Every structure is written in structure tokens, then in C-alpha cells.
Amino acid sequence: MDSNKGKTDRMQRLVIDAGFTCPNRDGTLGFGGCTFCDNAAFHPSYSHPGKSIREQIDEGIAFHLARGRKSDGYLAYFQSFSNTYGPIDNLRRKYGEALSHPAVSGLVIGTRPDCVDEEKLDMIASLPGSVVLEFGIESCYDKTLERVHRGHTFADARHAVRLSAERGIDARAHFILGLPGETRNMLLAECELINALPLSGIKLHQLQILKGTAMALEYEKNPEEFLLPDLDTYIELLADLLERLRPDLKIDRFAASVPPRFLAVSPWRGTRPDQIRKRLAACLASRGITREDLTD
């Protein structure tokens, strides 16, 4: 698997909803999911569990071609909910269906740290092509994870990432910047904890408060508990984080965006991720720092 590292960075991801759920939704750990979560906000129009995986891939390719998006190939991105949560035979079948598509050269599998075990990881490590296992960790602080109803601890995340790395799996992680109760200094202190994880890359997203979520109600009652910086302040925060994070750690994403109709709060509505990338690159350049993942 190590030979695949880095080969997925210029591939177009095709979002797949394979009909998985989450232990934080089906009653195993809880109901309703995390307080910030609304999966519908991140679904492209072609991604729907009522369609076969192959249909979603075909429609996803057409979707991106119609928008003139070029890439070196396609990855099936199992994004919705927890995509290792289920019987191993079902996982193997769904991953195999995606990999059997002639245009797909690999997978990105989004999941939770508490939804993998050694048997599943052994199976994932044996899959052909490029495979990225993307863990939603969100925060390094257990108090925060409990507050947003994640249902797992940071120790669970460390364990899952270590088991993945031991098998040569390209393990990456997702973190949200600005969860309730967290301060700028707390976010900067997380860098040391993240650097110690055997990850090849991470996604950093600003907190987005979505309509109809438990977090939207919490924000309405206690807005002072939330770190929602303006864009200039967010760029400076990203630059401070990147100065502290390992230089070999690929930063897969610097900000998130959802359709405006989903947003309850939007400090910098309408700013595209590519605009943030350019501003961040300029901010780092002013500090004498250049990163390839900002210029490719």
C-alpha cells in the first residue's frame, strides 16, 4: 500500500452513498448523530443510496465532465456516514463493485475511528488500487468530542490510525476548527497531538453551523461559546497551524463549503475554497513558507 501514497492527490473523487448508517444514529451509541451533522449538505445531486454504486459513478463522471473538471482519473469516495460500519462481506462487496468500474482506479473510504477492527483493516489493506482510509476525528479533546456527541474518544482515533499504519494503509483524518468550547490556543496545541499520529494527510475545515441541527440550537443560545472567525482571521489561523504541523503531512483541504441554503451562520458566505487556497499561499509566502499542496 505504501507505493500508492501520493497517487490519489490529483484524482477526481466521485461521492458515493452506499447506504451505510452510523452507530451514532442507529441506536448502538445514540440517535440523531453528531450535533453538527447533516449529511444532506454534502451530497452532490448524483449521490443517492437508491442508485447502484455503478450508476452513481457513471453519473458522477458525467457531472464533473459537464463542469469541465480535469483530473488524472477517478476515485470512488465512500463519503456518507460510516463506510466501514457493517458486516465485512457487505463491505467487500460494495468496495468491489466500485473497483470493478473501468474508470475507477481506487477508493477513499470515510469512516469513524470506532468502526474499524483488525479484520476489516486486513481486508482493506488487501484491496487493489489506491486506497485512502479517511477518519473523522474532528477534535483531539475528549471534552469536545463528548459535547458534540461523537461517541468515541481521541484514544479510539489513535488506536485506529496506528492499526491502519501498521498495515501500510494510507490513513488520513478530518478535523473541524472551531467546535464549541475550543479556543485558538487549543487548536494550536492540537498540532503536537496530530503530528504524533502516523497519518499521511489531513483535512482542516472551519466549523459550519447548519440549519436544523442540534448545534444550531446551541449556537442560538450560547454564541459566545463558538469560534467563528472572519476570513482574514481564519487565514492567519491556518497559517499558524501549518507552521506547527509536520511538513510531510499532506493538507488535503483547508476549508469546507456547502450550499448556502443549509447554513444557519455564514461569516464569509460565497468565498470559494480556491480563493482561500490562494490567500493562504500568499500569507505563508509572506512568512517565507512554500507548500506544494497549495500550489499544485
In the chain, what percentage of residues exceed pLDDT 90? 75
Structural contact between residues 78 and 46, judged by C-beta atoms closer than 8 angstroms? no
Cβ neighbours for 214, distance < 8 A, ≥ 6 positions apart:
32, 35, 149
71 pLDDT band (50/70/90 cuts)? confident
3 pLDDT band (50/70/90 cuts)? very low
pLDDT attached to residue 9: 55
How far apart are the C-alpha atoms of 26 and 86, rounded to whole Å? 12
pLDDT of 159 higher than 90: yes
Structural contact between residues 76 and 251, judged by C-beta atoms closer than 8 angstroms? no
CA 200 from chain center: how many Å?
13
Domain positions in the chain: 2-295
Best-predicted range by mean pLDDT among 16-30, 60-74, 149-163, 267-281? 149-163
pLDDT of 296 higher than 50: no
pLDDT of 15 higher than 60: yes
In the chain, what percentage of residues exceed pLDDT 70? 96
pLDDT attached to residue 295: 56
How far apart are the C-alpha atoms of 167 and 162, rounded to whole Å? 9
Looking up cell 489561523 gives 237
pLDDT attached to residue 2: 33
CATH number of 2-295: 3.20.20
